[in-house]
Structure 1
Amino acid sequence: MESMILEIEKVTDNIFAVVDRSTIGNVAAFVLPSKIAVIDSGMNIPLVKKFREHVEKESNKKTEILILTHFHGDHIFGNQVFSDCRIIATKPLADRMTESLETDWTEEKLEQWKQEAEDPSMLEELEITLPNETFDEEMQIKDKNITLQIKRTGGHTEGSTYVYCPEYKALVAGDNLFIKRYPWGGDKTADPDKWIDTLEEYLSLEIDYFIPGHGSISTKEEVQEFLDYLRKVKQLIQDMNAKGKNKEEILKACHEIEFYPPSREESKKMTLERWYEVWGQQ
């Protein structure tokens, strides 16, 4: 089946990633001097296992760390593949995962997800695996001469986090970065102002490789393109709001701003409504 084909991108000798949608959310790995750190675990358990095995074989090192960028299922449903590792996340992320076990991830709802999946084997053995280590705002992992800077910024979700390796000049952004596709920003904790701040922060760092939550590995130009879109939406909402336009008129105008098409129109609608909730009140 197509969804069981795994294309692993070797970005450099020390950076590997899956960005071909096979794991739904992107998965990345930094090979450190003595160990491997994986960022996000995707949503295709058999393929994430293969990814781990491949990077370990290529590097002759063991995966010891999994870092999560946010709590959405397409980035954490492969966590069980790393149950023997340190699974690191922000406290808000861990709290949302625990909360979701009682709401969105009940046994009944997970069974429905499995049945509706493009390939049911993606989630066949799913066992929700929670983080075993949390932090509040920032954390650093040092392995000999290599550093991983982990920082919670918010934006896409309250707990959204990036992982930056200055020595490798690479950053894994999670869903604060969508490349050549429409972003999902409809989470109840999404904060588009923090999202803009986060993208500006990315652009201030020395980075050659941006690994997004969805889309291909990118450069500063593509990050700037996404940032410009967010700024346009904010400006339009605030300008029209100041002129006394109603919500329906403003959302219609926002919808017409040219950008990449969404995977589902409903997703774009919910995203713009959330941004209006924030920017329409300023």
Structure 2
Amino acid sequence: MPAADNPLLADAREAFLHACRLDVETAKPGNVSVDSAGHGMTSAQFIESAEAAAGALFIQGAPVGARILDAVTRTRKAVGCNTNLGIVLLAGPLAAALDEPGCAATATAWHTATERVLARLDLDDARAAYRAIALANPGGLGDAPEQSVHAAPSVDLRAAMTLAAPRDSIARQYANGFSDVFDTGLAAVRGWPSRTLDAIVTLDVFLTFLGRWPDSHIVRKHGETVAQSVTREARLWHQQWRAALTRPAEVPDALRLSAWDTGLKARGINPGTSADLTVATLFVANLLERSQTGRSATRI
């Protein structure tokens, strides 16, 4: 199908860019935002990275591995560091699924199409994804006793990701068909009324993921014990934040969670995988809402 014949693609690109903007416009504890740089990066780099990656992710008919490698290559050229590898690894199959015959802008159809894309991933996809991960050079990601990215893969990309799934939440999406995004993530978005602020929805999705299981990025950088402690903290902060939303005078402070953000960054802790899953969820939610109503799913 020529790109011009697929009405989803233009909306998909805009939905993706909107999700990436929300990622840094919302002050999420431990993450880089427009109000709080950190980890040697700025929000401007993330926005520039999103624009660069989008040019590769939404090429009609491109294989998943090629989308991932091209997006990482363009990002590296644009900003010179790894800002979005996790986002790209998640967006690649989701974008490719929009090319599938019968894929429509419903959660069920898109989820089913994504499963079909994952089932067809091959060795070439693995080779390209491995090159992308090595190029991005994220500390610890891809180091494994089996199918390490520092050696040539001998299995297809889904099989390689399935091996990594027990220790990496992004790899788990390849194994479980993106169920965390289509189930856990979308449920958090849909739990809010239609006129809820962008920042509230985005932060709720982020805290939902961070409080559900240890963040893979934190595990790689700081170990399981620290990651588990952050997950417990996230559950408590999430409860307090939700309660504060019922008291309007406390909403500004509740949205920022600034004390926790400062503490995490002082310890060099970045819940990056939870942020990546949040972007993937908002990408899906935004496209579904755009296609059905003509407006984005999270509202200003």
> Do they superpose with TM above 0.5?
no
Higher helix share: 2
Question: Does 1 or 2 have the higher relative contact order (CA < 8 Å, sep 6+)?
Answer: 2
TM range (shorter): under 0.3
TM (normalized to structure 2)?
0.26
* TM-score, normalised with respect to structure 1: 0.27
- The structure with the largest strand share of the pair is 1
